[in-house]
Each structure stands twice: as C-alpha cells, then as structure tokens.
Structure 1
C-alpha cells in the first residue's frame, strides 16, 4: 500500500506532522518523512518507531502517492524535477509555498496539486486533547478524533465542500455544502459525517486551494486533514483566474490568517511593555501579559460565538466623553492609516515576489 509522504521538517512541516500524529489522523507506519538533515528526525523516530524517515526524496516519491511538501518557495521547482520521474497519475502534491501560483507550477508539472496556507497558531497540543468544553465545563467525548480519515478512504463519491462552519456554542456541526455532484451517492450520512470534527481541536485558519485537475476524493482528503485541527476556508477555482483582483483576494486572506498572529503578538508585547513602563513596574510583565491575553481571548470568544458583535462591545464599553471613547477616537483616527499602509507595504512585497517567481518559473 502506498504511504503518505512529507518532505521538509521546518517549523510548518513539524507542526503539521505532529498535529497529524497527535490526532491519530494517520498511523505512523503509513507515513514517510524526508528531510535534508536526517538527525532532525531522530526525536520523532524515537517517539514513533513505526515511522519511516529518510533523506532521500526519490525513495519517498516511489512509495507515496500523497506527498506534502514543506520547503521554501525557491526550492520547490528543483524538488519537483527531482521526484517527478517517480510520480504517477495517482500522485497528489500538497505544498505550503507562499506566492507560488498554479500557473507557475503548470509550466513544468501538469499533475494534481493543492496549496495549503496554514497558520502557525494551529499547533495542536495535549491541552486541547483534554476535551474540555469551555462553554459549560463538561467533558466532551473525543474518542472519534482521527476516525474521519478512515471514513474518507471508503468514500467513492465525494461531494465538493466549499465551507464548513462549527457552532461552538452548542457543539453542533453546521455544514454549508455547495456544488453537490448530482451523480454522487448522498443516501448515506457517512458522506457528510466524515466532515464533522471536534471543535475543541481547532485553532487558526487554513486556506486551501486546488488545481483544476485535482479529484474530489483528493480535495476531500486534504480538507479533512486540516479541518481536524484548524478552521478551513476553501478558495474556489474562480479565485485562481488571471484577474488581478482575484489574486489579491488570496494574498489579503493570507495576510489575515498567516501574518496576523505575528502582528497580534507584537501588539500584545507592546501593550505589556508599555503598561509595565507606565505603571513604573507596579504591574510586572507577567501580570500585564496575563491581563492582556485574557482580555483579548475573552473578546475574541464573544465575537466568534456571536454573543456580542464588535459594535456591541464598543457601545457597551464606551460612554460619552469617557476614557474609552477618547481612546477609540484616537485609534480610529490613526489606526486606519497605519493598517492601510501596512497592507500596501505587504502587497507591494507580494508583487516583488510574484515578479521574481514569474522569471524563475517561466
């Protein structure tokens, strides 16, 4: 039986592989991990002896149909040239290379490709495996985690899922299902149940894009893997046209999902350090961090659960000529320009990267 291959074990590769193992999405003996520096895989081999590790990408390609690639964007082309003699019609490449379009890849590889733009905050850890329902503090049965992939393997007719929403207020799963193939067998709930996940395992957003020749089965597999530990947003095929505005939507979504955690972290650090400074160390750094993080978290939960919208929080917090209103007026006046300039700066860099890639991949 063909295995699942993972090439590259940097920050993103390690995070995704460990999520897959911690959630038991694949069995260790189904996985081959390749890395240029083999010693970096010693720990995972010790923890999971049944995993195959190698520094030979061609060995991996010979033995895997589904290959996840976690290398830097400039390295992608040479890697595909290296393994392409061993790829088949059943091969499916999944990569996380920023800025790399299907048009770039199609110039030298015609096979099935998906791109995933994950977030580093999707890191799964043992805390989330405790299965605690933060809404009512009751234990939630988490025994089904990892079973969804087994269901997928047995599905012959897969519906095209564009979006999956989880209502974490009551742990009910709400599926927004579009573009159902009329020839698909939807008589069994198994087709839809395979997309249901334990919401307590989800952190961050994973953007997912598929090339036109990716089968529904392969699409479903990739979406379900990342839906186990993150909220997924599928970018429809029309987003991948040559229309510049559609290209921009992917780039802006990437800024909001992949870059934003770093921006938010910087804001938290600055709030903490300034609070510590202004209080003349009467509020120490750890205390300030605790206050800020819990306040951010509580605010995000209220918004995410639709308990309070952003305007509700603003209205309920501020009073006329009060401290909060003064702060809001200042931020509203200055932050819009700052955020607009930030987007302009980042999109300008995207244009530079695309120009470089178009030259290298032409």
Structure 2
C-alpha cells in the first residue's frame, strides 16, 4: 500500500509523523508533495526513505490512498490539477471540514472520504472524525479506520456534525490550553509560584482528568460532584465559574459555526455551488 500526502504543512506533517511513529506506515510507503518543495525535503531528512514527489500529479500516480492536506480555498485549484489523473480505485481523503464530500465527488471519479485529525495524534491519542462518500466500500472503511486507529480513536460522524465535533477534537486542545494558561498566569501573579512548576502541575492534572473520563468511568458532571464537597473550596469556586462563564460556551459555538459557514459558502462558490 502506498499513501500520498499533498501538503506537508502543520497538519500534513503531523499526520505523516503519526503514521510513521505509530508503525502504521514505513517511510518507503509514503509519497509527499508540497507547494514549497523544501518542506517535503525536510520530512524526507527526518524520515529516510520517504519519497518526495516533484509534482502533485506524480504523487497521485504513485498513491493508492491520497491525503489532501491543503487549506480549503486551495482545494479547487488542486482538484483541477489532479482531476484527470485520479482513477476509481483510489481513495482520496480530505482533512478539512468546509470542503464537502459532494464537492469532491462531483469533481473527481475516485472514492472520497473525509477524516478530520487532531494535534493530539502527535502523542498517539485523540479522536479522528471519519466521514465517507457514496463510493467508499465497507472494506475501504475498515482500511482507513485501521490506519488512523494506529494513532487515534476513529469515530464515524455525520458530515452535518463536523463543525461541532471538530470544536472538541481539533479546536479543543487550543481552548483547554487557553483556559490553563489564564489560570496559570493568575496563579503566578497572585502567589508567586513558579510558572514552570504550576504548568507541570496543571498538565499532570489535565492528563489524569482525561484518563478519569475515558478510562475511569466518570462523566464530567459526576467528576465535579465527586471532587466538590458541598460547602467546600471546590464547590465555592465552581459556583464562581458557573456564574462568570454563563453563556460563554454558547458564544464559542456560535463563533466557530459562523466562521465555518463563511468558509463553506466560499467553497460552494469555488465548486460552482454543486449540491448532493
């Protein structure tokens, strides 16, 4: 099996690294092409044996599965470039949410899937959000989920839910890190504790909390009730948070959805507003 990556920027290189680190793919099985050739060459230096292609067309010709790791508004130009080279037996995987499966199926003859990754895959963890086009077979699904399952938990979702699920799986690490950073900053200012010490404590706490929720059988509300003794310090602080953050998460979701709708509209226009 040969797997191609068109685009080796932040997410493309992260996925490629995860496949190799997890042992799912060997460098010799991977073909990479990038608008800036030096970026692909750097990956080949890091992973000896990795094949760097001189063009996206060369990449397509060599790959059984092709991951498109470019920005949404770059898709149409890329599809026009490679459209005549793909064939019905190939699987093309998009990793961006605004570009819809029907956009790609209307423009290409190959099989289409969409898998949204997360930076958490760098530690062989987190969820991969999986969506499948009409030409994908049961065997194709098993193959793709086995591949991404080597470094993540594959979760099949409806494409209509891609934005809200991405808020948690893909954007979530940034949101949680922002919360921790603000908390740490306040702790340093109020108490003089070392930033490094406080960051280490917060990081270990976050890791342990994640394990309690994924392996320990707790739901978020149950965990709050277990930690917060009525009338205690934690309960008092939770009361403050509930009051101070009232409505914030509704606004957060509205913000991410508004940006998604804007990008989706741009993609509809680029692809001629094709509908399923």
Q: Could you state the TM-score of these two structures normalised by the residue count of structure 2?
A: 0.92
Is 1:360 the counterpart of 2:270? The answer is: yes
Matched-pair contact (CA < 8 Å) for 1:207–1:234: yes
Aligned residue-pair number:
272
Q: Distance in 1 between matches of 2:25 and 2:215?
A: 31
Indicate the residue corresponding to 2:189 in structure 1.
277
Indicate the residue corresponding to 1:36 in structure 2.
35
Q: 1:49 to 1:320 in 2, by over 3 A?
A: closer
Indicate the residue corresponding to 2:203 in structure 1.
293
Indicate the residue corresponding to 1:157 in structure 2.
none
Is 1:331 the counterpart of 2:241? The answer is: yes
Q: Secondary structure at the match of 1:5?
A: strand
The equivalent position to 2:253 in structure 1, one of 315, 319, 343, is 343
The answer to which structure has the higher helix fraction is 2
Is 1:69 the counterpart of 2:59? The answer is: no
* Shift in Å, 1:75: 1.0
Deviations 1:143-170 (A, max 9, x none): xxxxxxxxxxxxxxxxxxxxxxxxxxxx
Indicate the residue corresponding to 1:113 in structure 2.
112
* Shift in Å, 1:322: 2.5
Q: Distance in 1 between matches of 2:96 and 2:230?
A: 49
Matched-pair contact (CA < 8 Å) for 1:36–1:55: no
Is 1:97 the counterpart of 2:99? The answer is: no
Where does structure 1 lack aligned partners over 5 or more consecutive residues? Answer: 125-201, 241-246
Matched-pair contact (CA < 8 Å) for 1:205–1:257: yes
Deviations 1:300-349 (A, max 9, x none): 21222134443343233323332222211122233241111111121122
CA RMSD of aligned residues (A): 1.8
Indicate the residue corresponding to 1:165 in structure 2.
none
Matches within 5 A, 1:231-250: 231-235=153-157, 239-240=158-159, 247=160, 249-250=161-162
Is 1:211 the counterpart of 2:123? The answer is: no
Matched-pair contact (CA < 8 Å) for 2:73–2:266: no
Where does structure 2 lack aligned partners over 5 or more consecutive residues? Answer: none
Q: Secondary structure at the match of 1:85?
A: coil
